[in-house]
Amino acid sequence: TIMEGMRLMHRALDQTYGQTLFRRDIPDFLRGHPSYQAAEASLEAFFVLSGRLFFVTEPYVLEASEISQLVNFLGQCIRAERGQL
């Protein structure tokens, strides 16, 4: 499900960061992982979207454009991990 995929993405980012990554930590994360610099806007958007999914009391239904953004962000993360961004 999308929720499980979001959890996996958070865990992967936590692993890369070396601790739990919160939105407020993004500047520090980017300093320590410069290969993610090009994905900064997508990383911010990911945290906004995950906040909606996990912390809003009303069920949140993703729009097609948001799913597309998540897929794009995943690709950016893969390239960043490979040093290709």
C-alpha radius of gyration, the chain, whole number: 13
Provide mean pLDDT across the span 53-68.
Answer: 86
Please determine, for residue 2, whether its predicted confidence score (pLDDT) is greater than 90. no
**What's the pLDDT at 70?**
93
pTM above 0.95, yes or no: no
Which residue type does 60 have? Y
pLDDT grade, residue 84 (50/70/90)? low
On the 0-12 / 13-18 / 19+ scale of CB atoms within 10 A, 53 is middle
Look over the chain and give the mean of its residue pLDDT values, rounded to a whole number. Answer: 92
Residues 65-74 have a mean pLDDT of: 93
Q: Look at residue 34 and tell me whether its pLDDT is greater than 70.
A: yes
Cβ atoms of residues 2 and 53 within 8 Å: yes
The shares of helix, strand and coil residues in the chain, as percent rounded to the nearest 5, are 80, 0, 20
pLDDT of residue 85: 57
Q: How far apart are CA 48 and CA 6, in angstroms?
A: 12
